[in-house]
Amino acid sequence: MRTTAALAISALAATAAGHATFQELWVNGEDEASTCARLPANNNPVVNVGSNDIRCNVGGTKAAGAKCSVPAGGTVTVEMHQQPNDRDCSKEALGGNHFGPVLVYMSKVEDAASADGSSSWFKIFEDGYDPATKTWANDKLNKGCGKQDVKIPSDIAPGDYLLRAETIALHTASQANGAQFYMTCYQITVTGGGSANPTGVKFPGAYSANDPGIKVDIWGNSFTEYKIPGPPVYEG
């Protein structure tokens, strides 16, 4: 197991260098770049789970320039990098020992361009920690050029949605408000599909600062498993 003191100090030293944002979206293998992403003003994390910024990041109510059309049952790929417009795959997507889960949510809205994220969110993807390989979900981002494939449920109703991609960095999460939340909302229009309208959770409200997946010491020898925060994944 990692040595608590040494690796925690290393994580703190690398904190600023490891910040990042989800920036681009792919739809069934087609690169939509950042056209429908509500890009944060910078790569700093949100740390207050009780803030409205936990919805779509700081400034996340500002509309993107477009909506991306996504077929129900299709696959989107969210893409994260440390600096704006730097898609260099030789660089880590989220460096500095920022280990943690990757989660993706959707929210049905009337107009994705004007929605403020206060509507209900249902989770469509999560990946956490594999104790057998000691691999975190965002380790895979680092190895995969910042990309995570996510299947859109095939039975959801057509129309506008916000798609919220998130990773939670847990390197300093043993202290109060130490978890770092990196999220971006994408404006999408789902085509086809069915009539399902999954129940969801609200942000803020879905997470508590004391949730075991948010306030957690990942460096201690007693750490063997991880509980991903938020609701269960909607299976569709």
- Those residues whose C-beta lies under 8 Å from the C-beta of residue 90, and which sit 6 or more positions away, are none
Residue 147 burial class via C-beta count within 10 angstroms: exposed 0-12, middle 13-18, buried 19 and up: middle
**Predicted model pTM:** 0.93
Mean pLDDT of the chain: 93
**CA–CA dist 120, 106 (Å, integer):** 8
Tokens of 108: 């049905």
Looking at residue 96, its pLDDT comes to 85
Tokens of 107: 């929210």
Q: How far are the Cα atoms of 51, 53, 57, 231, 233 from residue 47, in angstroms, in the given order?
A: 9, 9, 10, 20, 23
Q: What is the pLDDT of residues 179-190, one digit of tens each?
A: 999 999 999 999
Task: Give the model's confidence band at 13: pLDDT under 50 very low, under 70 low, under 90 confident, else very high.
Answer: very low
Answer whether residue 49 shows pLDDT above 60: yes
Q: What is the pLDDT of residues 53-83, one digit of tens each?
A: 999 999 999 999 999 999 999 999 999 999 9
Looking at residue 193, its pLDDT comes to 96
Provide the percentage of residues in the chain whose pLDDT is more than 90. Answer: 91
